[in-house]
Chains A and B, each alone.
Chain A
Amino acid sequence: MSELLKIENLHVSVGDKELLHGINLTVEKGKVHVIMGVNGAGKSTLMHAIMGNPAYKITKGRILFEGQDITELSVDKRAKLGIFLSFQSPVAVAGITMENFIRTTKTTVSGQQQKVFAFKKLLKERMNNLSMDASYAERYLNDGFSGGERKKSEILQLRLLEPKLALLDETDSGLDVDAVRIVSKNISEYHNENNSILLITHLNQILQLIKPDVVHILIDGQIVREGGAELADEVEQNGFDAYRLAVKGDGNDEA
């Protein structure tokens, strides 16, 4: 199994405040990694740092993707390497239809012109899989979409762009039970031995459908515990208190 993503001693700041304090993380091809933690722990910061959001400044450490140091690489170049971030709050782009946007994006990312009819057919199929009405293809991207529809729009892009690394930032939040099932099924169908998923979630429902290989507990900008799928169950039962105490030094590191 080869390394897809390797993060070494990553320190990230916004303004004067350091949010991540030395993250080490390795994601191998074909694996599903889950990051869990309390609100404000730094989970989304980590995702944005991997994607290259200029608002998050890397002050120390580095990020390697397929062995290439991408720490200084711009966001668009990371996307072209095959990194995709499903946003927690996707923006709306009025004036561009969803179909045109995704087709243009696919052309940009893959470097290959997309044939209109073949793309239309695939888009329709993928939208159907996500229980999205076909009329949404002709609507402006995310414009007037509900929160749940925007999340589906992100997963639709994931399915069509087929990145090597999918960063899923609380893709399940704001979705009803049925929508979580549909979205999870689509993520599962995207996943194969050649790509990897790094998923943030607060809910166990999605993990029943997307089985994690590795679970990381992130507290106060540090990964304090790593384990298999059983770790998610442990969090579900006991919460994060024991890990918080471990970070403060009052508890047991083995929590």
Chain B
Amino acid sequence: MKEIAINRLPVLTYRYLKTNDTKILFSAPQVSAAADFSDKTYVTVGAEFPENFEGASSETLAAALAGEKYTITIPSGMQAKLTIEIKLENQHADYAGAYHFLLQKGAKLELVWKLSGTEAAQGSYLASYYELEDAAELKISKLQADLAEATLYDQRFFKLGKAAKADVASAELGGKQVIVHSRGALNGDEAALTERTVYTGTGKQHLDLFYHIDHWGKKTVSLIDGKGALAGEAKKIFRSTLDFHRGCAGSEGEEGDYAIQLSPKAKNISLPLLLCTEDNVAGNHASSAGQVSEEDVYYLMSRGFSWEEARRIIVESLMRPIVDSLETSLQEETLEEIRRKLDAKGE
């Protein structure tokens, strides 16, 4: 194991705040698990990645690239659905894989990622590069749950052409250490990228979430939306950046993180950054963290719900809009997992 820095901010702040990056202990994976595809029509083994593909760190990206490699090409004008499932179990405690998705002009893909497993799971090192040509549309739903002892790296990069649209909804519920690193380049005019994440941190979970979207094309649209709850001694850091570059006139972006702290020992840091070198844009950023509102609890209790039920309703209601944006088959499972985690003793 060696100490590495991950999820470094694009613009650094005071060092004493200790938020410029996160230091973690890194070990390379023992590749043993394999991904399971619902349909291999468009899947080929092997992939190449551009040099500008950045991960949480060079080490974590290299670990993913050393594993399985696949290219998924959706031909122009075609529509496809694909589920990729990775299970980490006793004999297959690690996974490493890198995926290059190419959606040709006007292609559409509904993609579901499912990552699950047992307490024996050690780690998942995932990297995916999404290249959307003009007017292509991508919808990603991701659920990761269980994996109580695992370190999970998810590194993704989106390159969007003119009027291309990518909509990502993720449920980050499992894992001991969860590292997400997502970057988007809105190159084409009117391209749009949405990153929505729901999370629950319990016990001693550590979530390190990084999102960065570059607006290059005109009238591009972005949204980064994080919502979750932290209990026990969980720790979460949310770094998000919207960067409006010169020439992206008429672009709009919004970023925000809203966390409910269910325990005084839970730790939450949110850093929503706005960078801008173009005048004619609209960017909003926000974050809030706090306990469940006593006023809201009282209102719900006045309708017959117990304190515990009222708290659960409030937490769920914060997350529900993102859960509802997941692919239908994942929604109930996600809600049940959120309930199970937040109801568990010793949170």
Contact = CB atoms under 8 A, between A and B. Distances in A.
Interface in B293-347: 293-296, 298-307, 309-310, 313-314, 316-321
Contacts of A55: 294, 298
A131 B294 CA distance: 32
Interface in B277-294: 293-294
Contacts of B303: 79, 101, 105, 108-109, 157, 161
Given A51-B302, A79-B302, A87-B299, A93 B313 contact: yes
Contacts of A78: 302
A54 B298 contact: yes
B304 A109 contact: yes
B320 A76 contact: no
Contacts of B306: 74, 76
Given A55-B294, A95-B318, A105 B313 contact: no
A108 B299 contact: no
Q: How large is the interface on B (under 10, 10 to 19, 20 to 34, 35 or more residues)?
A: 20 to 34
B298 A53 contact: yes
A93 B321 contact: no
A242 B303 CA distance: 39
Interface centre among A75, A80, A94 (most CB of B within 10 A): A75
B320 A75 contact: no
Contacts of B301: 74-76, 79
Nearest to A109: B304
A54 B298 CA distance: 8
Nearest to B227: A95
Interface in A79-138: 79-80, 84-85, 87, 90-91, 93-96, 101, 105, 108-109
Contacts of A54: 294, 298
A91 B294 CA distance: 11
A207 B258 CA distance: 44
Given A76-B304, A76-B307, A157-B303, A91 B296 contact: yes
Contacts of B300: 93
Nearest to A143: B317
Contacts of B302: 51, 75-76, 78-79, 84-85, 87
B304 A93 contact: no
A74 B293 CA distance: 17
Nearest to A81: B304
Contact of A108 (B295, B305, B307, B314): B305
Interface centre among A53, A95, A109 (most CB of B within 10 A): A95
Contacts of B317: 93-96, 140
Contacts of A79: 301-304
Contacts of B295: 91
Nearest to B294: A55
Contacts of B320: 94-96
Contacts of A76: 301-302, 304-307, 309-310
A53 B301 CA distance: 9
Contact of B316 (A85, A95, A161): A95
A51 B305 CA distance: 13
A79 B313 CA distance: 17
Interface string A43-81: 000000001011100000000000000000011101110
B209 to A, nearest CB: 21
A209 B309 CA distance: 37
Contact of A95 (B293, B298, B319): B319
Given A108-B303, A108-B305, A109-B303, A93 B294 contact: no
A185 to B, nearest CB: 23
Interface centre among A80, A93, A140 (most CB of B within 10 A): A93
Contacts of A140: 317
22 contacts: A51-B302, A53-B298, A54-B294, A55-B294, A55-B298, A76-B304, A76-B305, A76-B307, A76-B310, A78-B302, A79-B303, A79-B304, A87-B299, A87-B302, A91-B295, A93-B314, A94-B317, A94-B318, A96-B316, A108-B309, A109-B304, A157-B303
Interface of B: 293-296, 298-307, 309-310, 313-314, 316-321
Interface of A: 51, 53-55, 74-76, 78-80, 84-85, 87, 90-91, 93-96, 101, 105, 108-109, 140, 157, 161
Given A76-B307, A105-B303, 11 more contacts: A75-B298, A75-B302, A79-B302, A87-B299, A87-B302, A90-B299, A94-B317, A94-B318, A95-B320, A95-B321, A105-B305
